[in-house]
Copies of this chain bind each other. A is one copy, B any other.
Amino acid sequence: MTATATRATETGEFSEELVSKAQAARKASRPLSRASTDEKNRALERIAASLEERSDDIVAANAQDYAAAQADGMTDVLLDRLLLNEERVRGMAADVRATIALPDPIGEEFDISTLPNGLRICRRRVPLGVIAAVYESRPNVTIDIAALCIKSGNAVILRGGKEAINSTTTLAGIVREALEDAGLPRDAAQIIESTDRAIVGQMLVYEGGIDLLIPRGSDTLIRFVRDNARIPVVTGGIGVCHTYVDADADVEQAVAIAYNAKVQRPTVCNALDTLLVHSQAAPKLLPAVVAAWAQDNVEVHADGRALALIGPEPPTRVITAIEDDWGREFLSLTAAVKVVDSIDEALEHIAEYGSGHTEAILTTSDENATRFLDEVDAAAVIVNASSRFTDGAQLGLGAEVAISTNKLHARGPMGLRELTSYKWTIVGDGQTRT
């Protein structure tokens, strides 16, 4: 623990629970960092098996949370996020087994070389140390994040929402027992049981006690974390995603992609927010896209030129776009549409309003595809495919803890490797510097 954390502890700035659990996690992180892949996978297999064996206990604990939340007037959408049933518990076990199948990033050596003076050097991948996760009503995040942290050799401090406290405490207990059963320190997984909201604020400034904090949940949570963190955090999850349809795009393909990007799962960060359409493509494309979206009652906020092309009797609700629609993340069945006269205008619009998450071009021009890939500054830049592909599982990373829109450390989907650091190892036989 650094001087900062020690000082803060002494002055009572941090809750006792946080300090004692963070210290226990730090201590446990050392043996965990050196655990073999087999040991870590054994712990994960025990988690999966326990989830299945103790499904009834988990569902019963969750029922308490659910009843309390219902009595409290929680909305149906949030209640659904909170709910665990036997099927969902089986799904969690399956996700843990999928993590077992992922390659272990720890210990990998890269940039290996022997210098002219005989020093043998490389960078060796190591865990970050202690990772904290702050999340809200979805209790499955407990298992999801714990499994990724264990596999990447990191200790984890979990802090779920108070509305899911019985569920998360039960799940965290399963993780701790599984670690112990596998011969690893149970203290490598900690759950904060106090529901005092001040603890989240303390975690965000717990320099030296937490190496990386991952927020999972609403925009409000993520913005709170971004605005108050003094320790490294993953700030991502906010995606204002544009799809630009170029002059000569394949209309049928473009309609299918625009439909998929908007409708397949509208509540997530990589869903389409704004469709930019080249004026040459717009007369054919726009009515077709709007007709496709109309099947799912997508609401369209269109600029004046798009409005004229869509016509006076659209098959779905179409209203005039206002300035606030550009750069807005809808997270719902709503899309903004704008007609542009060139790829340059599209690139400028994206540079001004994009959030650096995912931007796509649909084009048959190699030159424009190349320009778009070169010039757009975003975590993911896509040619002729749906923006929904910016996802750890889709890109072959396995599970992801978050999608980063930072440029430092990791950008885009963060899988196991993105939860690691490296150290330089330098082996000599007596070299001194001249």
Contact = CB atoms under 8 A, between A and B. Distances in A.
B421 A407 contact: yes
Contact of A408 (B128, B375, B382): B128
A212 to B, nearest CB: 7
A389 B427 contact: no
B411 A422 contact: yes
A383 B423 contact: no
Contacts of A375: 30, 34
A412 interface: yes
A126 interface: yes
Given A119-B389, A421-B407, A369 B432 contact: no
A374 interface: yes
Interface string A235-265: 0000000000000001001001101110010
Contacts of A411: 421-424
A424 B129 contact: no
Interface string A398-425: 0000000011110111000000011111
Given A212-B408, A408-B408, A257 B432 contact: yes
A384 interface: yes
Contacts of A386: 431-433
A409 B411 CA distance: 10
Nearest to A413: B424
B264 A433 contact: yes
A380 B424 contact: yes
B394 A433 contact: yes
B126 A253 contact: no
Nearest to A373: B425
- Interface size bracket, A side: 35 or more
Contacts of A377: 30, 33, 126, 129, 423
A422 B408 CA distance: 9
A384 B429 contact: yes
A232 interface: yes
A121 interface: yes
B424 A128 contact: no
A73 interface: no
B381 A433 contact: no
A426 B381 contact: yes
Contacts of A424: 379-381, 390, 395, 411-413
B264 A423 contact: no
A378 interface: yes
A378 B423 contact: yes
Nearest to A257: B432
A385 interface: yes
A389 B257 contact: no
Contacts of A113: 396
A430 interface: yes
Given A119-B389, A379-B423, A381-B423, 6 more contacts: A115-B394, A373-B427, A382-B425, A384-B429, A390-B426, A411-B422
